[in-house]
């Protein structure tokens, strides 16, 4: 099924994963490799096309990332984007120079070669996203200019016969209005891919692969109830049934009713055939966390305790053949095994690998998928939408949404407040959608309640109270690296405030967190 492969060669650009995703949106399988990858290895993969990404360097400088000329002589179509375009020109004898003015932002592109295969179905004047300081001042021999902009004489150059295309702008970002068409013209048109890589086929194929790999062996999976481990559990269960054992540790820091929901889907009365072990370790965690106030210390305890419990359970089960993990493609790329860009995500790895589990091999059925593809696979497997479209939720759970010491009482407060908040946001969003047919502009990408460690005086009926303040967080973000507070309508916030004060004992004040990231973080710890 992976026979039709397009390779993205990563030169350190910030959009490298986006390029691969866009290719997959054309239903063509795509993988990212560093520019350091050997040409022989690339040849051996027999790709239908190669895409060179952008990158922060200047291609004419001696120690900049480059690629040997032979890459362009394989007879395989190559598309260079931004740095990749400049590199292609540089290596093949064109000229790249520092521009007087760097071009940044939305720019009008004027198509010169209207019959170019890249521009099939694209307007003659179209808006594209530019971001460069160097520019191609002369295209390489054998290339013709197929588009330009006011500041960029060679915005697109091509050698039609050799199927080489150099694009100065970024078709992969949405600001390039017709970028998807251009990329699909390359992938489906120039590379002649069939575009038959679909999720149902992936699921069937992966189930077969798992069966072949596992044989009659035993597999152990730590199920957190998050999207990735749930989809991994679904796939493995469909492939090998009871040869799979899932250990679900309820650390008492999950959202309201979440432990029971996970059990409902994967437990004995659920829809999957597997051995399900739920460890109710709530009290054990609360005991461990007693008196601990420092966020990093809490994270560490929660992570270590998880490993310990998992190891204890594994010991009871005895030796297994495989340890399954819900690793997904961005994890692979970001850990440096795939592409070139270094995204720092290490603080999220709370657990690490258990050391005392007796297994022979690791199995990672989602290793090739992006998050949205994991979700599609989840739906394909019949995992409920509620679980599949779950918000990101940190491994240490509510432990890091409670400022100061974690106690069972505080967990109850934050669970109940958070439940009400999410319910009201979802209700308001659904009502808006019902009325207008679209999602509200304020719809946050992540929203939750946290418990501040502040208590203050209030009055309820005839009584003075001395209770906690709850903080409401809601952010709009694309990459979770930067974020802004979402503009939730005042009446929604007001309703949430009323309900939490009335329904959740121990709370007498509500704050809305306006902080963006940076300087804040998305979590509230």
Cβ at position 394, least distance to ligand XMP in Å:
3
Q: Is 82 a catalytic residue?
A: yes
Pattern of binders to ligand XMP over 327-366, x per CB under 6 A?
A: ---------------------x-x----------------
> Considering 26, 82, 152, 191, which one is annotated as catalytic?
82
Q: Residue 444 Cβ, how far from ligand XMP at the closest point, in Å? A: 11
Give the shortest CB-306-to-ligand XMP separation in angstroms. 11
Tell me whether residue 179 or residue 330 sits nearer to ligand XMP (CB atom). Answer: 330
Closer residue to ligand XMP, CB minimum distance, 66 or 521: 521
User: Among residues 396, 399, 440, 444, which is the contact residue for ligand XMP, using CB under 6 A?
Assistant: 396
CB of 396 to ligand XMP, least distance (A): 5
Q: Does 118 bind ligand XMP (CB under 6 A)?
A: no
Binding residues for ligand XMP, how many (CB under 6 A)? 12
Site string for ligand XMP, 506-525 (x = CB under 6 A): -----------x---xxx--
When computed from its CA atoms, the radius of gyration of the chain, rounded to whole angstroms, is 26
Q: Name the catalytic one among 170, 246, 373, 380.
A: 170
Which residues on adjacent β-strands are paired with residue 458? 465
Q: Which is nearer to ligand XMP, 207 or 309 (CB)?
A: 309
Is 66 a residue that touches ligand XMP (CB under 6 A)? Answer: no
Helices (H), 267-368: 282-289, 295-317, 329-334
Beta-carbon contacts of 100 under 8 Å, excluding residues fewer than 6 positions away, are: none
Q: Is the dihedral of CA 38, 40, 44, 48 positive or negative?
A: positive
Q: Assess 19 for contact with ligand XMP (CB under 6 A).
A: no
Which residue's structure tokens are 């009502």? 431
Separation between Cα atoms, residue 10 and residue 58, nearest integer Å: 15
* Shortest distance in whole angstroms from residue 347 CB to ligand XMP: 6
- Binding to ligand XMP by CB under 6 A, coded x per residue (else -) over 442-461, reads ----x---------------
Whichever of 480 and 512 has its CB closer to ligand XMP, that residue is 480
- Give the nearer residue to ligand XMP in terms of CB position, either 461 or 518: 518
User: Can you read off the two tokens belonging to residue 160?
Assistant: 């039609």
Total number of residues shown for the chain: 525
∠ CA 448-454-458, nearest 5°, is: 100
Q: Residues 78, 71: contact at Cβ < 8 Å?
A: yes
Q: How far apart are CA 179 and CA 169, in angstroms?
A: 9
In the complex, least distance from residue 393 CB atom to ligand XMP, rounded to whole angstroms: 6
Looking at 50-58, 111-119, 125-133, 389-397, which segment touches ligand XMP (CB under 6 A)? Answer: 389-397
The phi, psi pair for 189, rounded to 5°, reads: -85, -70
Q: What is the pattern of x (binds ligand XMP, CB under 6 A) and - over residues 480-499?
A: x-------------------
Sole binder of ligand XMP in the list 326, 394, 399, 444 (CB under 6 A)? 394
* Contact indicator for 361, 322 with CB cutoff of 8 Å: yes
Instruction: Specify the DSSP element, H or E, that contains 363.
Output: strand 361-363
* 231 class by beta-carbon count within 10 Å (0-12 exposed, 13-18 middle, 19+ buried): buried
Q: How far is the CB of 395 from ligand XMP (least distance, A)?
A: 4
Q: Please choose, from the candidates 211, 261, 268, 215, the residue with its C-alpha nearest in 3D space to the C-alpha of residue 235.
A: 211
Residue 401 tokens, joined: 């949404």
In the range 182-241, which residues lie near ligand XMP by CB under 6 A?
none
Closer CB to ligand XMP, 300 or 412, in the complex: 300
Rounded distance between C-alpha atoms, residue 354 and residue 340, angstroms: 28
d(CA 272, CA 109): 53
The DSSP-derived string for 10-67 is: E-S-TTHHHHHHHHHHTT-EEEEEETTS-HHHHHHH--SEEEE---SS-TTSTTS---
Q: Shortest approach of ligand XMP to residue 480 CB, angstroms?
A: 4
Query: Which two structure tokens, joined as six digits, stand for 120?
Result: 């099939």
Has 170 been annotated as catalytic? Answer: yes
**Catalytic one among 103, 172, 340, 373?**
172
Distance in angstroms between the alpha carbons of the first and the last residue of the chain: 45
The residues annotated with a catalytic role in the active site are 82, 170, 172
Provide the binding-site residues for ligand XMP, judged by CB under 6 A.
348, 350, 392, 394-396, 446, 480, 517, 521-523
């Amino acid at each position: 099924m992976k026979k039709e492969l397009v390779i993205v060669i990563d030169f350190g650009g910030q959009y490298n994963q986006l390029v691969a995703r866009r290719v997959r949106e054309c239903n063509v399988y795509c993988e990212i490799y560093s520019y350091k990858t050997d040409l022989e290895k690339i040849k051996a993969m027999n790709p239908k096309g190669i895409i060179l990404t952008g990158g922060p360097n200047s291609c004419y400088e001696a120690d900049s990332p480059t690629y040997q000329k032979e890459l362009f002589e394989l007879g395989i179509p190559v598309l260079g984007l931004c740095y990749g375009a400049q590199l292609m020109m540089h290596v093949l004898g064109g000229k790249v120079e520092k521009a007087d003015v760097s071009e940044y932002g939305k720019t009008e592109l004027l198509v010169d070669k209207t019959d170019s295969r890249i521009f099939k179905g694209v307007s003659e004047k179209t808006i594209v996203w530019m971001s460069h300081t160097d520019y191609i001042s002369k295209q390489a021999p054998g290339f013709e200019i197929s588009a330009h902009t006011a500041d960029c004489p060679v915005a697109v150059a091509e050698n039609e016969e050799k199927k080489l295309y150099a694009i100065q702008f970024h078709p992969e970002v949405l600001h390039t209005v017709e970028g998807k068409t251009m990329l699909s013209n390359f992938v489906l048109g120039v590379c002649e891919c069939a575009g038959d890589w679909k999720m149902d086929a992936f699921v069937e194929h992966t189930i077969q692969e798992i069966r072949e790999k596992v044989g009659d062996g035993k597999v152990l999976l730590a199920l957190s109830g998050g999207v990735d481990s749930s989809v991994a559990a679904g796939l493995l269960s469909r492939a090998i049934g009871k040869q799979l054992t899932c250990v679900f540790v309820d650390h008492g820091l999950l959202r309201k009713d979440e432990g029971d929901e996970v059990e409902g889907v994967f437990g004995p009365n659920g829809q999957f055939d597997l051995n399900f072990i739920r460890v109710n370790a709530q009290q054990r965690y609360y005991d461990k966390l007693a008196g601990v106030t420092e966020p990093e210390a809490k994270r560490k305890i929660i992570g270590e305790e998880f490993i310990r419990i998992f190891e204890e359970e594994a010991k009871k089960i005895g030796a297994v053949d495989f340890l399954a993990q819900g690793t997904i493609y961005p994890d692979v790329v970001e850990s440096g095994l795939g592409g070139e860009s270094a995204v720092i995500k290490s603080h999220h790895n709370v657990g690490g690998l258990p050391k005392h589990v007796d297994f022979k091999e690791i199995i990672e059925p989602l290793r090739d998928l992006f998050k949205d593809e994991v979700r599609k696979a989840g739906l394909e497997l019949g995992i409920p939408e509620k679980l599949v479209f779950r918000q990101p939720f940190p491994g240490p759970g509510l432990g890091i949404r409670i400022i100061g010491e974690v106690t069972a009482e505080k967990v109850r407060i934050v669970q109940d407040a958070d439940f009400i908040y999410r319910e009201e946001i979802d209700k308001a969003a659904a009502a808006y959608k019902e009325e207008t047919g679209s999602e509200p502009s304020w719809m946050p990408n992540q929203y939750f309640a946290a418990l501040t460690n502040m208590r203050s005086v209030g009055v309820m009926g005839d009584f003075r109270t001395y209770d906690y303040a709850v903080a409401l967080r809601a952010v709009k973000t694309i990459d979770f690296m930067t974020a802004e507070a979402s503009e939730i309508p005042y009446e929604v916030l007001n309703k949430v405030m009323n309900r939490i004060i009335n329904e959740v004992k121990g709370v007498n004040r509500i704050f809305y967190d306006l902080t963006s990231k940076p300087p804040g973080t998305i979590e509230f710890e």
